[in-house]
Structure 1
Amino acid sequence: MTENRGAPWLAVFGAGVMGIGIAALAIGRGVPVTLVDVDQERLGTARRRVRDELRLAHLTGALPRTGPAGELRLAESAAAVADATSVIEAITEAAELKAKVHREIASVVAPGTLRVTNTSSIPVDELAGQVPCPEDLVGVHFMNPPYLIGTLEVVRGPRTGERAMTAVQSLLSALGRKGIVVGDGPGFVTSRVLHRMINDAANVVAEGRATVEDVDALMEGCLGHPTGPLRTADLIGIDNLVDSLTVLHERTGDDSYRPSELLLRKVAEGDHGRKTGRGFYDYGVR
């Protein structure tokens, strides 16, 4: 990749729902991507899943149908991204795993290379304290699907440097996204507010006070929420939501973030939302 060093070349770690979505967004905007995952099965289906995301993005008009598409490369280890100009980690919401991946990334990229953690709840400085060159680390909260949500949280940790802040805004501009800079802390802004609401909505349903459909209809019709909290939970992924709620509960001590028993039951039963075909709603695909 040395010949591309002067142009943007993005590395994305994690070929799960968010990693695939971020890769599709970048490719659709003409930015080449190296997608890294140690899971051979997920990596084996990555091209098809990126292609499917691009098709949906084009159908909805979220990404342009014309213009150059970025190249997609697949890799099994961090060694493949040494020449990346920016790196986004988009693995599961587990602080120890994220720190491990960021240490691997920092060991192969040049100092000064932008390193992004895609997180919905883990404080950036918690990771920065465990990795080299913490000044290169920035948090960005991409939401699902990344090609459809145009405004993102950019989380500046106490150790994040000016060069990294300039680089992340440049990257988001290349991806056609607007970044709003917020302060560090568990859940930042969106998850701290939204996840509590979703948790409460699940508790209301579990208590038998309203149906899933009625909770969403009230929040849409009365308060202007575009999809309703429980349909939003299906879009986020209920398993991801529970992970984030657990982080918030552990780090704030606020019991309102303790994951609802209904959410925990859905995760245990494999009903994780849209990606599994069933969550609070049935999407007809299993």
Structure 2
Amino acid sequence: MTALDKPGFAAKARAGETIWTAGAFDALSAKLAEEAGFAAVMSTGFGVSASHLGAPDVELYTMTENLAVVRNMANALSVPLIADTDTGYGNAINVMRTVREFEQAGVAAMILEDQEVPKRCPAVANAVEILPIDEGSAKIRAAVEARRDPDTLIVARTDAFNEADGIARAKAYVAAGADLIQPISRGFQSFEALKRLRAACGVPLSLQILGWLESDLTPEQIEELAGLAVFPLVALMTATAAMRANLQALSQAHSTQGLPQQVAGLTAFKSFIGFDEVERQKAKFLVRELPASLALASDG
């Protein structure tokens, strides 16, 4: 499956054929997720905020800042990209522009949540402010109307902490045209609760494998419920732990000998990131040889 195979990606997700997905926070982590064998990649707003602003996920970045990161990720991938588009960055009219911009950037799906603007990450916030259900539904209707390709998936996320409210919202968002429903782990706290949501809303779920879902659910249980199954933060937390360990050791020893975490080899990394392909394209298209001084500089 390639990024251009949106019909196949959309059909699988809508049919509940689980697409296992890794979260990424920039183009490099997205490429590593694809290399690992994931069928799709999701941009995580939590990770984008942390890696690009060094700040928490409280919608501090703008739509265009997120779009720039997502566009680079889409350009680096040959598998579908699912974009975390937060609240759509405003009301239903803002959502329409958000959908068009991210669709043009090359994403295969967008996740829109029903919090008030600016949002707060429900994984860490004690409480969040939720839109009235009719306003949340209107934003989903606007997103569905704005997309130009019917195979661009609209995933409606409800941040309701209460199961009954979450089910009511899920049903309303499906009626508004949502392709999948994404609950938060705090709103549905058991496999049986997720099964009730899946039965009530009538479409597959998009599950972020965090909290109790990460520790308590088996892959088979997830596949019973989900069109999309995402591990959103493994890459971010892995990179953070590895860099922290090596940088702390480096600051003490002032030497790269004996670092606690393995470091990628430069030659292999240059090949992975595309230097070999650039050299092939240079040989194919550049009609003049680079001056020796510039060629030497480019080796650095």
> Would you say same fold, with TM above 0.5?
no
Higher relative contact order, structure no. (Cα contacts within 8 Å, ≥ 6 residues apart): 2
TM-score, normalising length: structure 1:
0.33
Larger radius of gyration: 2
TM-score, normalising length: structure 2:
0.32
